[in-house]
Amino acid sequence: MAYKILLGVVAALMILNAGLLFDTQRTRWATVKAAEEAAKPAEVSFTLIKPKDCKECFDAAAALGQLQENPGVKVKEQKIVTLGEDTANTLIAQYAITRLPAVVVQGDTEKLLLKIPSLSQAGSSVPSGTELKDKTLVMTKFPPPYFDLTSKAVKGLLKVTYITVSSCKDCYDVQLHKLALGNLGITASNEVTVSQSSDAGQKLIARYGIQKLPTVVLTGDMAEYPILKQIWSSVGSIAKDGAYVFTALESMGTYKDLKTGKIVKPKTNNQ
């Protein structure tokens, strides 16, 4: 009798152990499958909605091109539609889009955000403030300029005026400001270069009380560039008419002091 009981216990333990082994294997298998699935690229479809006749607007197509080069993304389909077309109008209404360009992304959007977290981070080039609506990714906050659908106007137009000084061959290259703006993700929609001796240059120098050259003056829809407002107090002044005038020439290199007429070469830490 005791022998039969022992056999029963052993059999029960074997069955229990087999069940545990099966559960362990099933868990491992599920983990492996999940890892394999996570390693696969996010399969998505893009629909780019462009404004009509806005040459100044941000080139979202170029930004999407960079996104497509990411190994974590597999683009199944890409469409480009223009404001006024049926598809564009339908998507704008469906997702309450208020500015263009915009990109509607469908497919493995949640995985896409896991693959490229920067899509939902402020300052991203592709853009900040991305929204998920019914698992559809709506990308609208590309850098300005952009077309505002409410006012039906282009917002974020920026003019950059470079003021040069021909009498100073050793002065720093004023075009360095273009590089600095580019590093902030800012591209001017209009660029003008004037010399100190020109009528346009003289008017700008008088209007903004400019005392050092070369320099740069930014005008336009400055409210669309909050990052400039954040840093400008440390590098320049904001005029009454809203123009941003660069004044921290010492940080750039050699410049001309208009008050003294002298060429100033800022001292370095080694001097």
Each residue's pLDDT tens digit, 128-173 = 445 555 678 888 888 899 999 999 999 999 999 999 998 899 999 9
Say which residue the tokens 């991203």 belong to.
Answer: 124
Burial category of 264 from C-beta neighbours within 10 Å (exposed 0-12, middle 13-18, buried 19 and up)? middle
The amino acid at residue 87 is: T
Q: What is the dihedral of CA 112, 117, 120, 122, to 10 degrees?
A: -150
239 phi-psi bin (left φ>0, alpha ψ -120 to 50, beta other): beta
What mean pLDDT is predicted for residues 33-55?
80
Q: What is the dihedral of CA 30, 33, 34, 40, to 10 degrees?
A: 180
> What is the structure's pLDDT at 69?
83
Flag whether pLDDT at 243 surpasses 80.
yes
- Please give the residue that has the higher pLDDT: either 226 or 19: 226
- pLDDT-derived band of residue 238, with 50, 70 and 90 as boundaries? very high
Please report how many Cα atoms fall inside a 13 Å half-sphere around the Cα of residue 248, on the Cβ side. 12
Give the pTM. Answer: 0.76
52-86 pLDDT, tens digit per residue, is 989 999 998 888 887 788 888 888 999 999 999 99
187-218 pLDDT, tens digit per residue, is 899 999 999 999 999 999 999 999 999 999 99
CB 105 within 8 A of CB 139: yes
Question: Could you tell me the end-to-end alpha-carbon distance of the chain, in angstroms, rounded to an integer?
Answer: 102
> What is the structure's pLDDT at 95?
87
Per-chain mean pLDDT for the chain? 84
